[in-house]
Amino acid sequence: MKKLLDKLKQKLYANKRLVLFLCGISLVGLIFGSLFITIISNSDKDLIQTYIAAFINNIQNNQLNYVESMKNTLISNFSFIIVIWLLGISIIGIPIIVFMYFTKSFMIGFSVASFLLKFKFKGLLYAIIYIFPHHLINLILFTLLMVYSMKFSYYLGTSILKRKTIYFKNLMNPYLGVLIIVIIGIIATCSYEVFIVPYLLKYIISV
């Protein structure tokens, strides 16, 4: 495992420009998501506040369905991961991958802004608990997968244009390895989000 992690670190360092580009996309997504709530209609704002109030109320009254929440969270994240991974083995995947990555960051920024809308400055603490550290870890895992997917897609495209021989076996082994690592990491972060975060929020709210 240590050797594999070292290889992943080397891969990220070797592609630091791509990593910086993705970090920039993520930052833009966070900013846009935070600002988006200021331009939606008042009825949509009321709907968001109602949803958050119901979520907090369910936490306080121990009415969360943890099994259902875990299932929905896993399905959402696994769908994202599999689509990104599959797009990596296509020659047109890069722009779609970048857009999907942007939307993930956008939703995190929107979530933070939603808590601030409902609870004002106190909502910042709730938002931090709601997104940290699991969503940050998710972004790191997605970035890792994105680097491999975009490099894979770029390699396929250039190889086809230049009519080079493509050795899929040599490419697929590390690509599958990254997918497995990301899936394991996502299972861990989803478990934290579903089973730990509600207790932390409940404690902070009671205090």
For helices 42-60 and 93-119, what crossing angle results, to 10°? 80
Fill in the amino acid letter for 2.
K
- Four-residue CA torsion sign, 30, 32, 38, 43: negative
Chain segment 136-187, per-residue pLDDT in tens: 899 889 988 988 898 888 888 787 777 776 666 777 888 888 899 999 999 9
pLDDT at 11: 64
Q: CA-CA distance, 55 to 64, in Å (whole number)?
A: 8
pLDDT tens by residue, 127-145: 888 888 888 899 889 988 9
Residue 113 near residue 37 (C-beta atoms within 8 A): yes
User: Is the full-model pTM beyond 0.95?
Assistant: no
Taking only the tens place, the pLDDT of each residue in 7-49 is 666 666 667 888 888 889 999 999 999 999 888 888 888 888 8
DSSP state of 90: S
Residue pair 131/111 in contact by the 8 Å Cβ criterion = yes
Position 1 confidence tier, pLDDT thresholds 50, 70, 90? low
Query: In a 3-state reduction of DSSP, which class is residue 15?
Result: coil
Q: How far apart are CA 153 and CA 52, in angstroms?
A: 39
